[in-house]
Amino acid sequence: MSIDQTKKSNRLLGNRRFTSDALTTAQEAFTNVLDINANEVYTQAKFIPTGSLPFSGSSQQQSTYTSGSNDILKYYYRQKLTKSNVANDVFFFMFPTGSDSGVTPQLIQDGQQGNFISPKYSVSALANSTTEDATPGYGVKVFKSTSLNSGSLGDGDVISANDYQFDYKTGVLQLESALSSNEYVYMTAYQYVGKTLATDSSIGGGGGTTVTANPGTSGSGQLNTITIDGSSFAIGSGAQLDTFFEQDGNGDVMPTNETNPVGIFYEFDDNNDIQPVA
C-alpha cells in the first residue's frame, strides 16, 4: 500500500501523527509535529557539526557528542525498531526496543525517541550521505532482515530511500510495502539531545528564580535571612527590611534617614561609601 501524501500532510498540519492509511484521522495520536514549541526549539543547534561527523561504527553505539560541557548528539548504530501492531509497514524508533509483537500506533509509547538530525544540518556535500557512509552524513540508513544479529547485515539488506519515509521529528518510519512477519528493521541515526528553549537556563528556560526566607522569632515581624537563587543574605539587627523606608510626621512613606539603610544588597564601607555586601 502506498503512502497517501494528502492524508499525511493534513494530519501533520492538524497536530496529529501519521502512521498508517489503515487508521482514520480520529484514531491517530495527537503530538507535536512542528518545531514551534519551546521544548522543540533547539537553542544549541549551532553546536551540531555540519561536517566531519564524530561517529560511524558499531563500537560507538549510544555514544554522545559533546561541545564544551554540553551533550549535543547521540549516535544509534543499527538500533532495532519496533513495529506497529496494525501492519508491518510502520515502525517506531524506541529505546529500549519494544515488543516484537508490536505496539499500538494510537499512543505515544514510553521510550519512543524523536528529534533526530536530518541532512538539513550538514554541508551540502553531505546532503545525500547516510550515517554509515565512508564520509558519513545525517541521512538515516535503514535495513531489513530476518536476523536478530545486526552485525550480520550487509548491503543486500539495505532498504532503498525510495521505499520508505522517515519522520526525523517523531521517529516514525513508514514503508511503501509491508514486510513479512519474520522480518526486522534496523536504523543508524543521530539524535539531538542538546538544550531547548524550555530547558536552557542561560536564556530563561528551566524554571524561574527561587526565593526563600527564614523568619525570626514568631510574631516579631522580622526576617533573619532571605535566599535568592542559592545566595543567602542576612537580614537581622541593623539590617531589617523596614530600614529601606519609613513614615514621616504626616504618615507618608519616605526613604529612610538611617545611616545603614541598605543591609541586604549594599552596605557602607569605612569611608561611608556604598559597596556591594561582601
Place of cell 501519521: 18
Could you give the percent of the chain with pLDDT greater than 90? 59
Tell me, what amino acid is at 39? N
Q: Per residue in 39-93, pLDDT tens?
A: 888 999 999 999 999 998 899 999 999 999 999 999 999 999 999 999 899 999 9
Q: From CA 21, how far away is CA 2, in angstroms rounded?
A: 9
pTM of the model: 0.66
pLDDT tens-place string over residues 110-128:
999 999 999 999 999 999 9
Write down how long the chain is.
278
Rounded alpha-carbon distances, angstroms, from residue 88 to 19, 166, 213: 11, 15, 59
| Angstrom distance (rounded) from CA 182 to CA 100 | 10
- Residue 238: the pLDDT is 46
pLDDT one-digit tens code per residue, 266-277 = 666 777 666 666
Tell me the C-alpha to C-alpha distance, in Å, between residue 267 and each of 136, 224, 233, 272. Answer: 60, 17, 12, 9
Q: pLDDT at position 240, please? A: 45
